[in-house]
Amino acid sequence: MKRRQLIQFIAGLGLAAGLVSAPAFAQDQIKMGVTAGPHAEIMEQVKKLLEKDGVQMKVIEFTDYIQPNAALAAGDLDANSYQHQPYLDAQIKDRGYKFVSVGSTITFPMGVYSKKIKSLNDLKQGARVGVPNDPTNGGRALLVLQAKGVIKLKADAGLKATPLDIVENPKKIKIVELDAAQLPRSLDDFDAAVINGNYAESAGLSPTKDAIAVEASTGPYANVIAVRIADKDKPWVAKLVKAYHSPEVKKFVLEKYKGSVITSW
């Protein structure tokens, strides 16, 4: 092979290699933290759409509410999707996280579940009622009980109400605070329990079929995608939100969960 032909051949190989490797090199690689259940299932659908837009995403599942934010702060995650805005706000205030929400996702209607009674009216004197032990979800649960006439809270209790804010408790029910993820598995220990929708779904409980009471569909508890403030303007963030807010994902949520999970965009 002549010298000129050899040079052209080698250059052609380099160009071809560049054409093959360029898309993979150009792709963003992100790690997304979610809780098991609907958050994880929906994010797998988002993952498929992101791949078409040049973003590869690894979905990492957690079983509690604390670790996904800790992992995001430590740099082990690039984003997470599992918490509503009041919870995120409380975490930022209490732990100093430099996070920001970049888009809303879904809402899980919080429900009251029981294996012992069919209605909250059937609660007996001194009944044990389980609620989440974190400030925002605990307050949310108490607001559900207030809306259903079980208790009455101080007028200024707000979203972070605690059992100490109860001013009327006609049946003297005992509020038992427990980790949100443990409530479905501990339902036998209570007369009733107020359970977050994602943990109810993971335990095979449907707010529309199994709950004896459900919170109103309107409220401040839409879940969000959180990222570090330093990353909020990166191109992959906009692509992530776009994929999540797509018609394909909305259709998946509607058909998969049939109203027990509601899109919030």
pLDDT tens digits along 102-126: 999 999 889 999 999 999 999 999 9
Six token digits for residue 105:
């996702």
Nearest Cα residue to 257 out of 219, 205, 213, 216: 205
Q: Which percentage of the chain shows pLDDT scores above 90?
A: 79
Residue 125 Rama label (left phi>0; alpha psi -120 to 50; beta): beta
Q: Does residue 32 register a pLDDT over 70?
A: yes
CA dist., res. 19 & res. 133, Å (int): 54
Q: Does residue 19 register a pLDDT over 50?
A: no
Q: Does residue 131 register a pLDDT over 90?
A: yes
Note the pLDDT tens digit of each residue in 197-235: 889 988 999 888 999 999 986 678 899 999 999 999 999
**What's the average model confidence in pLDDT over 21-27?**
44
Could you tell me the end-to-end alpha-carbon distance of the chain, in angstroms, rounded to an integer? Answer: 63
> DSSP code of 189?
G
Mean pLDDT value across the chain: 90
pLDDT band at 4 (very low <50, low <70, confident <90, very high): low
| pLDDT at res. 27 | 66
Burial of residue 138 (CB within 10 Å: 0-12, 13-18, 19+) is buried
- Asked if 82 and 198 count as a contact pair (C-beta separation under 8 A), the reply is yes
The identity of residue 265, as a single letter, is W
| pLDDT at res. 17 | 44
Note the pLDDT tens digit of each residue in 48-89: 999 999 999 999 999 999 999 999 999 999 999 999 999 999
pLDDT band at 30 (very low <50, low <70, confident <90, very high): very high
Q: Does residue 21 register a pLDDT over 70?
A: no
| pLDDT at res. 16 | 44
Handedness of CA 53, 58, 64, 67 (dihedral sign): negative
**What's the average model confidence in pLDDT over 142-150?**
97
| pLDDT at res. 234 | 98
CA dist., res. 13 & res. 24, Å (int): 18
CA dist., res. 233 & res. 88, Å (int): 19
Q: Which domains does the chain have, with CATH numbers?
A: 28-107+220-261 (3.40.190.10), 109-212 (3.40.190.10)
- 3-state DSSP helix/strand/coil percent for the chain, to nearest 5? 45, 25, 30
The identity of residue 133, as a single letter, is N
> Strand, helix or coil at 249?
helix
Q: Does residue 15 register a pLDDT over 80?
A: no
| Residue linked to tokens 């933290």 | 33
| pLDDT at res. 135 | 86
| pLDDT at res. 14 | 47
**What's the average model confidence in pLDDT over 127-143?**
95
| pLDDT at res. 198 | 85
CA dist., res. 167 & res. 132, Å (int): 20
- Asked if 42 and 249 count as a contact pair (C-beta separation under 8 A), the reply is yes
